[in-house]
A and B are shown apart, each in its own frame.
Chain A
């Protein structure tokens, strides 16, 4: 933990070096945040089009035809267009929102400051990882504009559908190639980011910042980076194999003896579709925790701050984060109970899956324990953290059904699954991002956000997401398969249409409310009241420096940490919070 010397660079002059190709972790964090913000609105727009089509499969909308000349000729959305929207919705949300904002956005900005560093360990690598992510996004969006359109094989891209080329469907030509290329580029970017995060935590903690004094946010960013390092490396390898299958005629994932669209496939044999699934989910399950762990960190941090209480069971929380990270690599098979893999392995995967429920439950208990006996302030940031806990409980419990292979015999690939993962990996993670936004906005931009707008936005969104995603569990129980572009061909689905209509309207409502968030965000950027140094009376290091912080964070001073991260309401202390950098004499050891 020596004083960092290599990151002692000086503030750059000129717009390009300062705001575009910046080496400053804070600028890069903001760049990631806005990349994610752009992506989340694209992803949300796609989901609205999907929800519209599901309940109006025959509708003719003139501007569809102008957007998609062939896939929506005459204004009617084709099934392949629906599947393209679905694929791109899932991909953009998982990679460019859930992976990007909580880790690369907030993590980049606040990890170095919270551990008392001037920057990330490798600033140039940091810049490269952002711009590589940007290129990946451009390539991904380009898939919409090539012949045949975006791919239709879902964000999981199971071969042979994703591997055998144009004959398996429109979008499976150039669109799918661009998709997998973008994913491979994204993997490269994430690997650079992961290495940087790990090196920063290991090397750049300031004096006194022992591991067990790090805020829980830093712990989650660290473990997420480790998951990213191991997970994206495997996805990159799998992605390259898929590119080879598609472009040079290898057969990693394509078996012999196929006949697609009345053509006998002679140039492929010997591959295994299940191999892709194993490699994909070896990344894919840790990815769920990449999305949610930082949200858990933010939630723990905020519950303590706004309840004015130390985190209940800090050590148990750290061990829970570590065990989630470890077990996260041993449960990928629960995505494959129905895949045709050896049914004996399902037993092992299911036991391990239930095991990973335990640290998740520990975290929930500890959150309630943190609030218990607190003095809760209901600022918007806190509201979103409380909402996170509620959604995490709801979304986590449906996992207890899906983790049992016996029950998955029915639920696999139904809307029950869609409801489950949207609840926990989708909206709970997004609530973590909202919480982070309201909490850190004053530090990042030097201005406060509007609380009234924030509260209205919170309540409408909280109720809205419950209205969208809870009914999915019910239609799933009635046997509604997912990834259907319309429900008119299956007789038993007719009775579920009113539920689908309800969910579609709930989605319109919830999406409309997000405009309020955008207004709040951009209005506050320019017009919000000036933020003080520490508006929430928080204890962590980012609140010891001006809002926004100077270029090198601590203005040349090397901070010294004397206290644990959550010393709130310490008896005998002059205020109800002790900053981590306060002199040791203030009170007891944390």
Chain B
């Protein structure tokens, strides 16, 4: 009996914190993020209503149908009710997932435009590296035997390849605002995961695979990139940042970085 108010109070507290948005997502920085938040809110409203109704109903039957001397109904069920709630939940759940497919398709099926900025991402225990092709637009040849992390060559750039001479290697990700970006992601050892909260995106980086991820970021600022797939004892320290810069600042950064 006491359980009824306990269930109701717990439900109210949980509902309150969702409504008050005490702990919440950071603001999105692109159109995908905005669409993501719409789909999240849609799902939250549907599941929120079901949550409150179901917990309330549970509390209600506990309260209303406690043993107070009445006889229980002899009742084996109701096929019409079964059909109604089966089809209603099926429609609701299926509808939700279908509404979300556009967002998924936007991340994974749309080809990035030809002028997208290509950036190679390298994950290793427990650091990130990013490579830009430089003015020639070509990535230089790499080989594991040239890898030297302490000398600033995590990718293993081959000094003999002229295409690699102008490649820019950076420990943090810098991108121009409002431009399509195309990441080409590799891992050198175990699985890592590239995640930026404000982009509303994450992707595992699997050794032996080349995994593309394209997006655009519109809001200038610096955002954290925490590794989001268990990669070993330093997993919690595997962090970098993604800095979204104006197009001019980005070009300036590339020039400065190339001179070093």
Top 4 A-B residue pairs of the complex, sorted by shortest distance between their CB atoms:
A255-B208, A343-B108, A373-B73, A406-B100
B75 touches A312 (CB 8 A): yes
List of A residues within 8 angstroms of B40 by Cβ: 401, 407
List of B residues within 8 angstroms of A311 by Cβ: 76-77
Interface status of A300 (Cβ within 8 A of chain B): no
From B22, B43, B149, give the contact of A401 (CB < 8 A). B43
From A258, A474, A483, A486, give the contact of B207 (CB < 8 A). A258
Which residues in chain B, 70-88, are within 8 Å of chain A measured between CB atoms?
70-79, 81-82, 85-86
A354 touches B97 (CB 8 A): yes
B43 touches A160 (CB 8 A): no
A477 touches B224 (CB 8 A): no
Closest to B241 in A: A491
Closest to B94 in A: A354
Interface status of A123 (Cβ within 8 A of chain B): no
Interface status of B189 (Cβ within 8 A of chain A): yes
CB distance from A57 to the nearest CB of B (A): 9
New A-B contacts (17) at CB < 8 Å, excluding given A401-B40, A412-B193, A412-B228: A80-B233, A83-B233, A161-B232, A164-B190, A169-B125, A257-B208, A260-B189, A310-B74, A315-B77, A338-B193, A397-B51, A400-B43, A407-B39, A409-B200, A478-B26, A490-B224, A576-B71
**Known contacts A255-B207, A259-B147, A412-B228: A169-B233 contact under CB 8 Å:** yes
Interface status of B113 (Cβ within 8 A of chain A): no
From A307, A340, A470, give the contact of B203 (CB < 8 A). A340
B207 touches A340 (CB 8 A): no
Interface status of A499 (Cβ within 8 A of chain B): yes
The number of residue pairs between A and B whose CB atoms lie closer than 8 Å in the complex comes to 328
**Known contacts A152-B232, A339-B206, A569-B73: A400-B46 contact under CB 8 Å:** yes
From A357, A412, A491, give the contact of B93 (CB < 8 A). A357
Where the two chains meet, the residues of B that have a C-beta atom closer than 8 Å to any C-beta of A are 1-3, 6-7, 10, 14, 17, 22-26, 36, 39-40, 43-44, 46-47, 50-51, 54-55, 57-58, 61-62, 65-68, 70-79, 81-82, 85-86, 89-90, 93-94, 96-97, 100-104, 107-109, 124-125, 144-145, 147, 149, 188-191, 193, 195, 197, 200-209, 211, 224, 226-237, 239
A407 to B25, CA, bound (A): 12
A398 to B85, CA, bound (A): 19
CB distance from B92 to the nearest CB of A (A): 9
CB distance from A88 to the nearest CB of B (A): 14
Where the two chains meet, the residues of A that have a C-beta atom closer than 8 Å to any C-beta of B are 78-80, 83, 152-154, 158, 160-161, 164, 168-170, 255-262, 264, 271-274, 307-316, 338-340, 343-344, 346-347, 350-351, 353-355, 357-358, 361-362, 364-366, 368-369, 371-378, 383, 386-387, 389-390, 393-394, 397-398, 400-401, 403-407, 409-410, 412-414, 459, 462-463, 466, 470, 474-475, 477-479, 481, 483-487, 489-492, 496, 499, 568-571, 576
From B1, B23, B202, B239, give the contact of A490 (CB < 8 A). B239
**Known contacts A160-B190, A404-B39: A568-B232 contact under CB 8 Å:** no
B75 touches A309 (CB 8 A): yes
List of A residues within 8 angstroms of B229 by Cβ: 158, 338, 413
Chain B's interface: helix, strand, loop or mixed, by majority? mixed
A153 to B209, CA, bound (A): 20
From A161, A354, A376, A474, give the contact of B231 (CB < 8 A). A161
From A255, A401, A410, give the contact of B47 (CB < 8 A). A401
A224 to B3, CA, bound (A): 30
CB distance from A496 to the nearest CB of B (A): 7
From B2, B58, B144, B211, give the contact of A264 (CB < 8 A). B144
